[in-house]
A and B are shown apart, each in its own frame.
Chain A
Amino acid sequence: MTPPVVAMPSIYLDHHATTPVDPRVLQQMLPYFNQVFGNASSRQHAFGWKADEAVEHARQQVAQLIGARAKEIVFTSGATEANMLAIRGAVAARRGHGGHLVTVTTEHKAVLDVCASLEREGCTVTRVPVQRDGRADVARFAAALRPDTVLASVMTANNEIGVLQPVAALAHECRARGVWFHTDAVQAAGHVPLDVAALDVDLASFSAHKLYGPKGVGALYVRRASKIELEPQMVGGGQERGLRAGTLNVPGIVGFGAAAAIAHAEMAAEAVRVAALRDRLLDRLRAGLGAVTVNGSLTHRLPHNLHVSFDGVDGEALMTCLADDVAVSSGSACASGSREPSHVMTALGRAPADSWGAVRFGLGRGTTADEIDWVATRVCEHVTRLRAMSPVTAGTRA
């Protein structure tokens, strides 16, 4: 039985959640489902050799995108697993060095929750506050590093507000103190230039489906020069040089490699194109609505991200108004009489009301100027109408 087909909005502006598989990527993946279907670990026959060849080619493609060497790439099921391997694996490997971790308050749950779980197991965690623009203060971050700090983890680009962190400077502080540095680079890879060697990070997480590859495959970059001996989190097969057991997802890995190669070739031009569309969207929203608050730095930001708050309007209600035509994302779901504001917005020092009114526009490879203009017009109409029915703009407070 096939899954039910649900009517889809015609304009997709939620590319931070996921991206469609590029048709060129899909074409390269297809033979590996039923023609070159061998197990990459089957060393005894050509089916296995072909699959292994494809995996190693993809490893090279992913490495090239991020300025790494192929041997530094460990394929995983996605970025969540890569984060888990990096953080838990590093803590376990450096047991003798202490149990202190440093991260920042705007991290994705895939990092924060791993840190919290380690905290329950006896580690200590320092969550360094960010500045109002969402960027980490390097001096404040450095001050949090201690002699017993084993690892620091700071994302390259935030998944909500798209703000880019000063990763090179943070990694430099860690290198000077012998602290391993990990970055969750999921939102950045394939969208902005990323050179892990130049950034001098020790570990970095990636996911294929954020850069027009398939879901269910990701990678961890492990810097060889750091001589990191991570403790594997999945054992039972010895794949990926013993770091990640389990039969390799050959079609997925092939897709990841193909997506990385396309991003490598097209990223520079695409970033300029999509940033212009993002700016066009903001200009039109401001022209139609007046005050529109951009959350986080607009300068240090992913080119395809716009995260704004509309005063007096609930982002979820706006999403519902748009839902038949446009897919966007709001800060937080409202499931009961009260709710938690986005931890990222709170970290920026913003009031809960700013969080309720936040909407994330994630532009992508298929986004056109006509779509942006159409969306801007609809958003202005709906926000104006929602504001008219909002008691917040009526000059009263509950």
Chain B
Amino acid sequence: MSSAVYSAAVRERCREPRRAGAWPDGEPGVGTGSAGSLDAGVWTRLQVRVGADGRIDDARFKVFGCSAAIASASFAADALIGATLAEARALAPEDVAVALGLSGGKQAMAALATEAACNAVDDWERRTGTADWGPGIGHSADGQALSGGTR
């Protein structure tokens, strides 16, 4: 796909990807999730750090993949800052795709970023044993407790 079909937002995030990086494995307070695979040609890895107030206070990503995959992970990591875990889970591929102007098959890259985000939240809950964290956290919009399993 030629770069001309990418929005300025994608190109900027590809060249200057905000929140690129990683915490070491087992870093306290950090959950790690991934989506895709190297063999499939796109692999998104996203980490979230949850503060004492139950909100995500930092997020980092690593991506092997195309420009849209990099931009999607960078955008998702940005969008997760300050979010509750429920809000993190609610981040939809459409939100990412619209913000970055992704169309057609490239929207699948946005879906990988949000899937990795959900998996990171699940991982954090597993690690901390806080699948039912508290009011508004770890619950869906209708108040039902969410599964802590890997998605």
Contact = CB atoms under 8 A, between A and B. Distances in A.
A225 B140 CA distance: 79
A260 to B, nearest CB: 30
Q: Which 9 A-B pairs have the closest CB atoms?
A: A323-B3, A335-B105, A389-B20, A320-B67, A336-B105, A334-B66, A338-B40, A391-B62, A337-B108
B42 A334 contact: yes
A230 interface: no
18 contacts: A6-B4, A314-B41, A314-B64, A317-B70, A320-B6, A320-B11, A320-B14, A320-B66, A334-B109, A335-B104, A337-B112, A338-B40, A353-B38, A356-B64, A389-B21, A390-B64, A391-B45, A398-B38
B111 interface: yes
Interface in B44-98: 45, 61-70
Instruction: With a 10 A CB-CB cut-off, give which of A320, A390, A396 has the most chain B CB atoms.
Output: A320
Interface of B: 1-4, 6, 10-11, 14-15, 17, 20-22, 34, 36-43, 45, 61-70, 104-106, 108-109, 111-112
A336 to B, nearest CB: 4
Contacts of A319: 3
A397 B38 contact: yes
A329 to B, nearest CB: 10
A319 B66 CA distance: 9
B112 A394 contact: no
Contacts of A314: 41, 64-66, 69
A398 B105 contact: no
Interface of A: 6, 312-314, 316-317, 319-321, 323, 333-339, 341, 352-353, 356, 382, 388-392, 394, 396-398
A378 B34 CA distance: 30
A353 B70 contact: no
A398 B67 contact: no
A398 B43 contact: yes
A317 B40 contact: no
A121 B61 CA distance: 51
Contacts of B20: 388-389
B42 A338 contact: yes
B37 A390 contact: no
A317 B70 CA distance: 8
Contacts of A341: 41
A328 to B, nearest CB: 11
Contacts of A316: 1, 66-67
Contacts of B40: 337-339
**Interface core residue of B1, B41, B104 (most chain A CB under 10 Å):** B41
A337 B37 CA distance: 9
A341 to B, nearest CB: 8
A33 B135 CA distance: 77
B39 A336 contact: no
A312 B62 CA distance: 11
Nearest to B112: A337
B111 A337 contact: yes
Contact of B1 (A321, A333, A382, A392): A333
Given A317-B14, A335-B106, A398-B34, A389 B41 contact: no
Contact of B65 (A317, A333, A335): A317
B42 A391 contact: no
Nearest to B61: A389
B36 A398 contact: yes
A295 to B, nearest CB: 17
B22 A394 contact: yes
B43 A392 contact: yes
B41 A338 contact: yes
